[in-house]
Structures are given as structure tokens and as C-alpha cells.
Amino acid sequence: MRQGGKGTGGKGASGPKRDGRPPATGGAKRRPSHDARRRAQASAKAKPDLAETIVRVPTTRKPVAAKPARPAGPTRAEVKATTAEVLATGVQQLVVTPDENEMRIDRFLEARFPQLSFSHIQRIVRKGELRVNGKRADSKDRLEAGQTVRIPPLKLEPQAERPRSLKADADTIGFLRSITLYEDDDVMVLNKPAGLAVQGGSGTTRHVDGLLDALTGKDGQKPRLVHRLDKDTSGCLVIAKSRFAAATLAKTFRSRSARKVYWALVAGVPRVRQGRISTYLAREEAYDGDQRMAVAKHGDDGAMHAVTYYAVVETAAQKLAWLSLKPVTGRTHQLRAHAAHIGHPIVGDPKYFNISNWELPGGIQNKLHLLARRIVLPHPRGKGTIDVSAPLPPHMRQSWNLLGFEDAPYDPIVDAPDE
């Protein structure tokens, strides 16, 4: 039967088409004709691939040379990050470790931040920027393990790690041995020369604390300072060789169980041959920006009580006197300030010699005539008593010889009280 309508000659008819091509089979995709494939190939040849075109087109531009390899070292971003870390540390909250128990705050800062100068430490403490458990603290306050120390933003300069020299260390060790008065497994007592600083500061690169680095053991521990002497004062300086000794000796000095005797050459002769000096001392700024201690009143800002006993050992007419001094307290520049306070400043003292038109006797050098003569303290492990005396330094020996002083077999200051 013949279908009508669009079935006879329409697009859906199964009969042959007018161009003579066979009809498409049901559902199969129609393949492009030969002519269509040829036209596509020709079109592809006329329009080559874009990437291929860029490579093949000639150019008159000078080829760009490859960038040289970046030299070894930190990138600018790394330097910037490091600088930011070094120069602006931000506020820090540091917890006191058991090894730092009973350490003075200024020494805690020196240990944690070796780049900090002494003046910088004093400045942040004086301004109240340093807090311990939220409270304002003084540089001489003692810390307890577990306390939190708030450190203000600091500007630190990076410390260059310098390779250690075996020869330099050997020379340093030899020097330290040459000035050692006493030594055992826990304690050293050095005869510190005049002019050698105990710790570093502004412009000070050679000091006892730095020299002790040469004695660092395999465990990374080095001998530690437990007290200080002024740079121009010579004589007995106690060093702890272990953490246990350092903690024990710190308590000894703090409790005033260590007895110290100093010798000094002073201008004039005290009218009272033996006496006690008791004042308050406070730090003051000198006209040249230098710092010194001055007699203050009780209650003054920063004033601390200071007690010194003195005894006249020998005299040279009424011009000079050899004093033996026994400090009960251990304030900064205590003996020098007290000697000046009673009108008999120490010869050669650039800070406290306050007698105008006073002429130095011929042959006596204008150097500080102050010697830490003797130290007596209990051994940190209970092994009896350490009792060490230091000889006169060369400039004081010369003065003693010129004045006819002989080392006294008996020192009258030993009879002075300990309080």
C-alpha cells in the first residue's frame, strides 16, 4: 500500500535521492565526502597552527639574552624579612627557666640578648618598659623560675658568627691561666688586670666574659661571672665553672657571706684612723653624659643604702694614705664614691677625684689606685673556705716602692664588723 503525504519524496523517504547517492543507513553518522575532506585539508594548509607561525616568522629584534644566575645568598625578600625580625622584635613574653632562677634581671637580658648594650638594658628598665608578672621591675631584682618577663620591642643588631681560632683560643687560655690565683672543679679566682673590662659594652670588644668563651666545655657550658669589678680596678675576681657553683655563689654574694678587702691610695689622711661610712647612693648623669654615683637621701629615686668600713694602714706625711677598705654592701662604684665623700678620693680616679689644684707626687702614675686585695667565701660544695689574695698591680707596686710602703703583715680591717 502506498503511503501518502510527506512519506513519498520527503526527507524521511527510503527511496533513492535525486543526486543518486544511496540513502543513509538508520542512525549511523554521515562521513564527510571526499570533496569535503579535501577542502578541509586545503583550509588547514592556508591557516597554519598559531604556535608554529610565531616560531617561523623572521624578526629583526635582537634576541633577549638569558638572565645570569642569581648569586648565592638571601633574596631581597629574605633580607627584608630578616631585617624586620632583627630590628623590630616586637613585644615578647619570656618564661624564666630553672637555670635562670635567682638571676638578676639585667644579667637575664644579657644572657638572652647578647646584642643588647648595658645602657640599652638600663634604659628600658628605667622607663618601666620591662615587666615581671605584670609588675614594673628594677635591673637588680632577682627572677624566679616560672615567672614571665615582658620584653618591649627591641632593636637588635645581628651577631656575626665568627669561626673560632684554635690558636686564638690557646693564647686566651694561656693568658687566663697566667692570671689565675685559685682553681678547682667549681671555682676560679682571677687576678684581673687594671684596664680589662669584666663585661662588654659600648666600644668594648675585649673583656673577661668574652675571654671565658675559650674555656667552653664539650657540653656547651662556659665559666660564668658571679660578681664584677670596675674596668680600672685590679685584683680578685671570682668565676663559677658550673651552673651549680654559679647559683650557689650568687646566693653567697647576695647574702653578704663573701668578705672582700680592698686596698687604695687616697689623697690626704683621714682624721679618724678607722671608721664606718654609711650613705645612700644613686646614679646621676654627669655633664659629659657619663654616669656616676652620688650621695643621695633616703627615699630619693634609685637611692640604695651603702656601708663601707675603712682603716688607715700607712701614711706618707699628710699627703697620701694607704687605706684598707671593707665593703659590706656591693653598690656600683661604692668605694670610689665613699672615699670622695669623706674628702679623701682615690688617686687616679677620673670620675670621683674632686680636689682642685691637687698635684700628683712625682713618679706616681695617674691611674686608679684600687685593688681587690682579698676574697674570703665558703666553697659552693661545702669544702671549707676559699681565701685568696691578689698582689699589687704594677702601677700600685711602683707607688708603694716610691712611698716606702711595705706589704703589711697584718691588715687592721679584718677586725671590722661584717654588717
* CATH number where 335 lies: 3.30.2350.10
Sign of CA dihedral 273, 279, 283, 288: negative
Bridge-partner residues for 180, per DSSP? Answer: 190
Whether residues 258 and 304 fall in one domain: yes
Q: Over the stretch 166-185, which tens digit does the pLDDT of each residue have?
A: 788 899 999 999 999 999 99
Q: How far apart are CA 327 and CA 334, in angstroms?
A: 8
Helix (H, G, I), strand (E, B), or coil: what is residue 74?
A: coil
Sign of CA dihedral 354, 360, 361, 364: positive
Whether residues 325 and 368 fall in one domain: yes
Q: Is residue 17 part of a domain?
A: no
Whether residues 118 and 222 fall in one domain: no
Q: Is residue 333 part of a domain?
A: yes
Q: Among the options 106, 186, 230, 232, which is catalytic?
A: 230
Average pLDDT across the chain, whole number: 80
Taking CA atoms, 86 is separated from 81, 83, 121, 156, in Å, by 9, 5, 17, 6
Check residue 61 and give its pLDDT: 53
* CATH number where 119 lies: 3.10.290.10
Q: How far apart are CA 104 and CA 149, in angstroms?
A: 12
Closest CA to 337 of 326, 347, 346, 324: 346
Number of domains making up the chain: 2
Beta-sheet strand order (sheet of 135-136): 92-95, 148-151, 131-132, 135-136
* 256 close to 329: Cβ distance less than 8 angstroms: yes
Q: Is residue 168 part of a domain?
A: no
Q: Is residue 37 part of a domain?
A: no
Element (H or E) spanning 325, and its range? Answer: strand 320-327
Q: Over the stretch 28-63, which tens digit does the pLDDT of each residue have?
A: 455 555 566 666 565 555 554 444 444 444 445 555
Tell me the residue range of the domain where 110 lies: 78-151
Taking CA atoms, 55 is separated from 43, 47, 48, 50, 393, in Å, by 20, 15, 12, 9, 86
* 131 close to 150: Cβ distance less than 8 angstroms: yes
Helix (H, G, I), strand (E, B), or coil: what is residue 201?
A: strand
Rounded percentage of the chain residues whose pLDDT exceeds 90: 47
Whether residues 142 and 211 fall in one domain: no
Counting Cα atoms < 13 Å in the Cβ hemisphere of 86 gives: 13
Whether residues 399 and 257 fall in one domain: yes
Whether residues 100 and 186 fall in one domain: no
What's the pTM value of the predicted model, to 2 decimals?
0.67
105, three cell numbers:
634581671
Q: Is residue 215 part of a domain?
A: yes
Amino acid at 353: F
* Distance, CA of 36 to chain centre: 86
In the listed set 114, 135, 151, which residue is the last one of a domain according to the structure?
151
Q: Is residue 355 part of a domain?
A: yes
pLDDT band at 327 (very low <50, low <70, confident <90, very high): very high
Taking CA atoms, 11 is separated from 17, 21, 228, in Å, by 9, 14, 113
Q: Which residues contact 292 (CB under 8 A, 6 or more apart)?
A: 283, 284, 286, 333, 337, 351, 352
Q: What is the mean pLDDT of residues 239-249?
A: 90
* 128 close to 122: Cβ distance less than 8 angstroms: no
Q: Is residue 299 part of a domain?
A: yes
Whether residues 192 and 147 fall in one domain: no
pLDDT band at 372 (very low <50, low <70, confident <90, very high): very high
Q: Over the stretch 68-113, which tens digit does the pLDDT of each residue have?
A: 554 454 454 454 444 334 444 678 888 887 667 777 788 788 777 7
**131's torsion region: left (phi>0), alpha (psi -120 to 50) or beta?**
beta
Out of 115-119, 203-207, 382-386, least confident range: 115-119
CB neighbourhood size of 373 (10 A) = 22
Whether residues 223 and 98 fall in one domain: no
Q: Concatenated DSSP letters for 108-146?
A: HHHHH-TT--HHHHHHHHHTT--EETTEE--TTPBP-TT
Whether residues 223 and 108 fall in one domain: no
Q: What is the mean pLDDT of residues 303-318?
A: 95
Q: What is the mean pLDDT of residues 142-162?
A: 75
Whether residues 234 and 369 fall in one domain: yes
Q: Which residue has the higher pLDDT, 368 or 408?
A: 368
Q: Is 230 assigned a catalytic role? A: yes
Helices (H), 68-115: 76-87, 105-112
23: phi then psi, degrees, rounded to nearest 5: -70, 155
Q: Over the stretch 131-148, which tens digit does the pLDDT of each residue have?
A: 899 888 887 788 888 899
Whether residues 128 and 276 fall in one domain: no
Whether residues 326 and 292 fall in one domain: yes
Q: Is residue 22 part of a domain?
A: no
Q: What is the mean pLDDT of residues 142-158?
A: 81
